[in-house]
Amino acid sequence: MHSGTKKSEDPSLLPSFMTDDPQTPKKLKTGPSHVTPSMLYPHAATSVNTSGGVRKKDEDTGPKPDEDDEAERRMVEASRRGGAKENILIDGKISIISRISIVNFKSIALTILRDGKREALCCKYNEEFDYIAVGYADGVIIMYQSGTGEPVFTLTDGDVKENRAPVTSIKHRPVSKIYPITNCYTGTYANGCVKCWSYNFNQCLYTIREKRQTFGIVYHPRFPKFVTFGDDLKVYFYDEETKTQERVLSSSDNPETHDGHMSRVFAACFHPKNNYELLTAGWDDVVQFWDLRQPHAARHISGVHMCGEGLDINQKGTEVLACSWQKEDPLQIFDYGSTKRINCLEPDIYNSKLYCGKYATRDFVVCAGSDPNLIRVVDLQTTA
């Protein structure tokens, strides 16, 4: 259980683009955000990596199983060509079907960083799995063909060039009958910008400027709404159609009630069945349960130190997956209703600290972390 004061943050986990003094967001501004020079050259991505993978579909309301199979088939076919195994050890029934190299800036005539190479911080498939968007430390988003690894689109504008800041997260709207494919990505940046890109036209459709360092964005599974989170301990809830901030979720003034975050927030997940429920987690070792109709959290789970997008809910909405950056119990599953731990998964002999994870299907979890550096697929039927 955490105390009522702000938790002390471990400097070893802090990328250099994250400053120590969060600012409280006020009314949204339209002018350029200030970025300190330290934001431009973070070390290896630690707390902001995302899990770029296949979107989950609701078990009851989503597409039929044959449509799921078809989506998986298209994704595999789109990335069938090419392959590389440099410096990679594979244990189990996994094969590498394609590889995207970190491209030297000189080769495509963009600004050269000090080391002459780009530092990738996050990635995401597009809606049809034929492209992968990669966000870099200088604020540029490049889209690659998933099969060949060739760059096809570069998402940048004058605002990005004038106010360089790392891309911390990339998302697109969930694909469903309600949400048609829009060929758009939304990225968050360490200078507080939230930018929506139409990648076919290399055009920024809108920009929201938050007075904080924004670490991530998560879309609502059914409505044109999303939340963002960052270093000011608060969660912002937006309506995308009107570009307005509808609510700010935060802790109350009572230090005895653990109804909000006490440190940076790095993960969020909407409930797949309930339109109003949301989970968030971060450095304060707490998973908060929110009702979007209320300003403060209703309940919480303690003992989960989250440094990336390691939070997910299964398709039925009954279990919570928590992937923690900690040596003890890094991969846990909790009951959503009671918040009691159901299981602590020990998939193999490597006890890696986890940055990200999600349900790939009903029976499989994909997670990744460091110390040692691993990405793994866990069969819940054999480890539970």
Q: What is the rounded average pLDDT of the residues 219-248?
A: 95
Question: How many other C-beta atoms lie within 10 A of the C-beta of residue 304?
Answer: 25
What's the whole-number average pLDDT of the chain? 77
Domain boundary among 150, 181, 209: 209
- Same domain for 185 and 150, yes or no, is yes
Domain boundary among 150, 182, 209: 209
Per residue, the 3-state secondary structure of the chain, as one string, reads CCCCCCCCCCHHHCCCCCCCCCCCCCCCCCCCCCCCHHHHCCCCCCCCCCCCCCCCCCCCCCCCHHHHHHHHHHHHHHCCCCCCCCCCCCCCCCCCCCCCCCCEHHHHCCCCCCCCECCEEEEEECCCCCEEEEEECCCCEEEEECCCCCEEEEECCHHHHHCCCCEEEEECCCCCCCCCCCCEEEEEECCCEEEEEECCCCEEEEEEECCCCEEEEEECCCCCEEEEEECCCCEEEEECCCCEEEEEECCCCCCCCCCCCCCCEEEEEECCCCCCEEEEEECCCEEEEEECCCCCCCEEEECCCCCCCCEEECCCCCEEEEECCCCCCCEEEEECCCCCEEEECCCCCCCCEEEEEEECCCCEEEEEEECCCEEEEEEHHHHC
Specify the CATH number for the domain of residue 227: 2.130.10.10
Q: pLDDT tens digits, residue range 82-113? A: 444 455 666 666 666 666 654 433 333 333 33
Q: In the numeric block, which tokens belong to residue 119?
A: 């530092």
Answer yes or no: are the C-beta atoms of 304 and 282 closer than 8 Å: no
Please state, in angstroms and rounded to a whole number, the distance separating the CA atoms of residues 355 and 283: 12
User: Looking at residue 347, what is its pLDDT?
Assistant: 56
Is residue 264 in a domain?
yes
Percent of the chain with pLDDT over 90: 54
Please state, in angstroms and rounded to a whole number, the distance separating the CA atoms of residues 5 and 188: 28
Q: In the numeric block, which tokens belong to residue 172?
A: 């697109």
- Same domain for 248 and 222, yes or no, is yes
- Same domain for 154 and 192, yes or no, is yes
Is residue 139 in a domain?
yes
Is residue 60 in a domain?
no
- Same domain for 317 and 280, yes or no, is yes
Q: How far is CA 83 from CA 40, 117, 147, 193, 219, in A?
A: 31, 22, 9, 35, 32
- Same domain for 170 and 186, yes or no, is yes
User: Looking at residue 157, what is its pLDDT?
Assistant: 94
How does residue 69 score in pLDDT terms, banded at 50, 70 and 90?
low
- Same domain for 201 and 230, yes or no, is no
Q: What is the rounded average pLDDT of the residues 242-271?
A: 93
Is residue 160 in a domain?
yes
- Same domain for 238 and 341, yes or no, is yes
Residue 260 has pLDDT above 70, yes or no: yes
pTM of the model: 0.73
Residue 153 has pLDDT above 80, yes or no: yes
Domain boundary among 209, 237, 257: 209
Residue predicted with more confidence, 349 or 319: 319
Range of the domain at 132: 116-209
Residue 48 has pLDDT above 50, yes or no: no
Residue predicted with more confidence, 175 or 212: 212
What is the domain count for the chain? 2
- Same domain for 147 and 247, yes or no, is no
- Same domain for 277 and 371, yes or no, is yes
Please state, in angstroms and rounded to a whole number, the distance separating the CA atoms of residues 305 and 355: 10
**Side by side, which strands form the sheet with 311-313?**
311-313, 319-323, 331-335, 341-344
Task: Tell me the residue length of the chain.
Answer: 384
Please state, in angstroms and rounded to a whole number, the distance separating the CA atoms of residues 281 and 269: 9
- Same domain for 203 and 223, yes or no, is no
Is residue 65 in a domain?
no
Is residue 364 in a domain?
yes
Q: Which amino acid would we find at residue 126?
A: N
Answer yes or no: are the C-beta atoms of 157 and 204 closer than 8 Å: yes
